[in-house]
Amino acid sequence: MAVTMKSTSALDRINAGMQASVDARKAAEDRKKAGSNGLVSVASSLVLLKSGKQKDGREIIQRAYIRPIYNIDVATVVSMHDKFQNYDASGNRAPIANLCAEAYGHACKYCVDAKKNKLQAREECFIAVYLRGIEEQEVGQTDWSKVQYTFKNPEGQEEKKTVQGFKLLRLKMNSPILSGLMNIFKYSGDITSCTYIIQRQGEELGTTYTLEAQPPTPMNPNLKAAIAQKKPSQVLELIEQLYPYQIVPQSRPNNGPLEDEIIDVDADVLDALDETF
């Protein structure tokens, strides 16, 4: 793709760079605030499951109960650059997960030498779901327990809450979950008619996912009413916030971070970047 660069003075470039830096810092602060409110952080927006050996020494299996809120024929398919095993110049983990800028008519930063860097853009599928909850089981045990997170109430006291709400399923095209949902769609024409159990077990290259459809049931009226307030187009808007595209040269489209911007990332959020079923 040919890109025409306008000639600018050094002063103009300095002023633009300074303003871009200010904008980037503000965008980073806004993203951090939004994430803490459960709005646009990866950790709060995706269905995330863990399995295998944990930091506390336990080996676990997790399963999620989800119900798609839209049929699969309106799922959101996007072109993405994704490389989890990526490291910066200092040897720190720096996973890449960004939309391809070429899909938006821009020269894409990650399309440059993409084959050499193993960063070719690939299509991924996002499905909006309602997450009813996540359960966890220790390997070798029979009991399942609900996964909860701890938060502080307005009085500053810690409380626990079940992980649930509207989320996105991020699926690779070779995902057994996506294949299972497509088969159900071909058979019944509707993937929203029942709840599904997605189970994750194992770790690293031994990680496996399974999909189990429950018997069809009418959707809860309150859930129906909540879905009516949403639009399928909001899924793409959320994806664009979670995985902003990057263009060449150094710039910061749709509030994405500059290449040299340093943003504190929680370890759980970093792990969440690899959560593609």
pLDDT for res 20: 52
- Give the domain ranges of the chain: 10-272
Are 182 and 211 a contacting pair, CB within 8 Å? no
Which pLDDT score is estimated for 147? 92
**Nearest partner of 264 among 68, 12, 31, 107, judged by Cα:** 31
User: What does the pLDDT read at residue 16?
Assistant: 53
Looking at residue 265, its pLDDT comes to 37
The reported pTM is 0.74
**Structure tokens belonging to residue 70:** 């839209």
Residue 187 CB neighbour total at 10 angstroms: 8
Q: Which pLDDT score, from 0 to 100, does residue 25 have? A: 57
For residues 50 and 104, give the distance between their C-alpha atoms in angstroms, rounded to a whole number: 33
Per-residue pLDDT tens over the stretch 41-80: 777 899 999 999 999 999 999 999 999 999 999 999 999 9
* Per-residue pLDDT tens listing for the chain (277 residues): 444 334 444 445 444 545 555 555 555 555 444 443 334 577 789 999 999 999 999 999 999 999 999 999 999 999 999 988 888 777 888 888 999 999 999 999 999 999 988 999 999 999 999 999 999 999 999 999 999 888 888 888 888 888 899 999 999 999 999 999 999 999 999 999 999 999 999 998 899 999 999 999 999 999 999 999 988 889 999 999 999 999 987 545 554 543 433 333 344 444 444 455 6
Q: Can you give the pLDDT at residue 9?
A: 44
How far are the Cα atoms of 22, 150, 172, 246 from residue 122, in angstroms, in the given order? 32, 36, 9, 15
| pLDDT at position 222 | 92
CATH 3.90.198 fits domain 10-272 = yes
